[in-house]
Chains A and B, each alone.
Chain A
């Protein structure tokens, strides 16, 4: 199980939790596990075609998975996954 950190703007989808444990050996599997448990996350994270939305960045241990192996990026048990959409406020 890896830990997935949620920014405030997405927490309403996961019952207000700051972080959630999710199973999966790749980023894709971890995110699939999340949307099964929290279906309202699906529209936030994925396009209709099942691709990751470009406005939500996914970081594995501080590295953007777009520059690793994307959804296929291997996730180990103690890893930290962070979801991060852009913010507008100034």
Chain B
């Protein structure tokens, strides 16, 4: 029995629950409901409900399960005027979704009601191609990619850890990559510091790194900080960055960075390597432990030689650096579980990963609640600092 459009619409209206834009807005702001825009991409690009997910009606059947994995979860669909979303809701009901509503009047009524709306970030045609493999991933998409392009990551060191991390962060489209390094490229670096090349021996590492990264991806702005990170410049160096990747090779720098980053509230993705072994974790200020919670004092030099003394298998910082880059991307995108509160050990000889549980030290002189309160009261707790290479108790940062 053939049916007219009007008959189909009447039928849909009798089967589907409808909900007003104002009510949708209230539910959206309360959270716990998925709002889905079923219009075409060109309509979505002109503006949409904030926080909505775009699943075009043309792809509804194939994409809805990724957008809403739980068929019992509350879903509100909208289109331009409230008709297409009725038919889309029928489709979802056929697929077993049990709590689906259609917004009356669609986006036109939403805008006419003076409700808040937003336009999605735009990528150029070149960027759509360059990042197409990211754009296909629901957890990233256009919004996530735009977020990466607007992000600022600071690498401390363009060495064994920083090199692989920088390459992949630049390739991923992290828009601003700052690099702190005062060194020049040495032949002995090239066994693992893959951002540099043989013809750049003697060149400043920050310049060499910038050349490689901008050649890889012209979207990336590389900010070169050609200086050693010390207590006097750390606050200035880290200001304005979203995440810091710690790829230094001295304890002194690691403690200085830790203390300043906790105070500035900037996450630090930490890694260190020794011969065939690596350690990795993510320090998120006041959420998980900081470096001082993990290691309240540094070991004596003989127990913790750097790579130039002890040696390192080149792929170990490569692997650890890429795991750092992975943590950085997750922090920037707000997806997945970071290593905050977990220390990941890697043993290249056994090809073995081990995870250890870390905790915030309630007596930490930098990140404990007491330390924070003391700082806010203008009387910071004393912390151990380095003085002429010796770790001293009772400094006063």
Mark A residues whose CB is within 8 Å of B.
Answer: 7-10, 44, 53-57, 59, 62-64, 66-67, 82, 84-90
B295 touching A64 by the CB < 8 A rule? no
A90 touching B307 by the CB < 8 A rule? yes
The contact size tier of chain B is: 35 or more
Q: Is B109 an interface residue (CB 8 A)?
A: no
Q: How far, in whole Å, are A82 and B354 apart by their CA atoms in the complex?
A: 11
Chain A residues, Cβ within 8 Å of B303? 9-10, 44, 55, 85
Chain A residues, Cβ within 8 Å of B294? 57, 86
B295 touching A55 by the CB < 8 A rule? yes
Among B1-9, B33-41, B247-255, the stretch that binds chain A is B247-255
By beta carbon, the residue of chain A nearest B271 is A90
Q: Is B365 an interface residue (CB 8 A)?
A: no
Select which of A44, A54, A63, A87 is within 8 A of B297 by beta carbon.
A54
A86 touching B358 by the CB < 8 A rule? no
Select which of B159, B247, B274 is within 8 A of A87 by beta carbon.
B274
> 19 A-B Cβ contacts within 8 A?
A53-B297, A54-B295, A55-B295, A55-B303, A56-B299, A62-B356, A63-B357, A82-B356, A84-B279, A85-B303, A86-B295, A86-B299, A87-B304, A88-B251, A88-B298, A88-B306, A90-B159, A90-B160, A90-B249
Chain A residues, Cβ within 8 Å of B162? 90
Q: Fill in one digit per residue for B52-81: 1 if any A CB lies within 8 Å of its CB, else 0.
A: 000000000000000000000000000000
Q: Is B317 an interface residue (CB 8 A)?
A: yes
A90 touching B247 by the CB < 8 A rule? yes
Select which of A8, A85, A89 is within 8 A of B307 by beta carbon.
A89
A82 to chain B, nearest CB (A): 7
Contact (A64, B304) CB under 8 Å given A87-B279, A89-B312: no
Q: How far, in whole Å, are A90 and B163 apart by their CA atoms in the complex?
A: 10
Q: How far, in whole Å, are A13 and B181 apart by their CA atoms in the complex?
A: 35
Select which of B273, B297, B345, B357 is within 8 A of A90 by beta carbon.
B273
